[in-house]
Structure 1
Amino acid sequence: MSQLRPQSADSAAEMPEPESPNWWHRDHPVFTPLSGFFSGLAFTLLVPGLFAAVLEAFFPKHTATDLFPFGAVLLVVPLVLIVRERTRRLGLYFLLGMVTTAVVVVGVAATALWLLTR
């Protein structure tokens, strides 16, 4: 049986450090779909809330209510990603994440409302 020996400071200094963590494989075929989908999901959930919070912080309530529809301009982000060829695949999964999130949220809200009214 071999015993584990502690490494000396000299041997630790000789070992080269990896450029990136072992789990960070950008060339993996699943990396782009997962990052695009979850970015779209986070975008759909966080951006409208943050936009409303910023408007409420800087403007009176009636002005913030009037300005809130301008947040729809942020929906252009996936369209810009889809138009550019280099980011088209990411943009499609980004849009899929946004649409899926919206469908799930509306579906759960409709089901909960239906159950509550019965």
Structure 2
Amino acid sequence: MSEAGEDRVGGEVDAPEDRSRRPDWFHRGHPIFFPLAGFFTGMLAIIVVPGLYAAIIKWLAGYKRVEELFPFVLLMFVVPIGLLVPHHTRRFGRYMLLGMVSTVLVVLVVAAAVVWFLLSKDS
């Protein structure tokens, strides 16, 4: 019979407590999982929800009604604000709101830069 660890380099043997030892954060998930998930959920919400909302309203009620009801898409900001209330969802909600606000800012700055560039090039 072979001894434990003979097939390993240098004859090293795993101690049973080393194999089962996990980091302190293991049962709570990775420390950056909720911030990343919240940020990208907010970013995705800003990109997808307004277009999907407009498409569904246009399909159901027509183009004129979409123009009237489109400001109600701002109600999607209620979701991350509501997530800020309970303690166990506060971190996710904070990063979701950060993702939403930063995406809106990036879109507005890029749009302003493009309009400025086109107007300055035209004149």
Q: TM-score per shorter chain, which class?
A: 0.7 to 0.9
Aligned pairs for 1:62-77 within 5 A: 62-77=64-79
TM-score by length of 1: 0.76
Structure 1, unaligned runs of 5 or more: 1-24
Q: How far did 1:69 drift?
A: 1.4
Q: Which string of whole-angstrom CA distances, capped at 9 and with x for unpartnered residues, describes residues 20-77 of structure 1?
A: xxxxx96110101000000000001100010000011000221221111122222100
Letter of the 2:96 partner, please give it.
F
More helix by share: 2
Q: Which runs of 4+ in 1 moved over 3 A?
A: none
Query: Match for residue 117 of structure 1?
Result: 119
Letter of the 1:93 partner, please give it.
Y
Residues paired across the two proteins, number: 94
Aligned pairs for 1:25-40 within 5 A: 27-40=29-42
Query: Match for residue 42 of structure 1?
Result: 44
Aligned pairs for 1:2-17 within 5 A: none
TM-score by length of 2: 0.73
The RMSD of aligned alpha carbons is 1.3
Mapped to 2, the partners of 1:26 and 1:47 lie a distance apart of 30
Query: Match for residue 107 of structure 1?
Result: 109
Higher-Rg structure is 2
Query: Match for residue 9 of structure 1?
Result: none
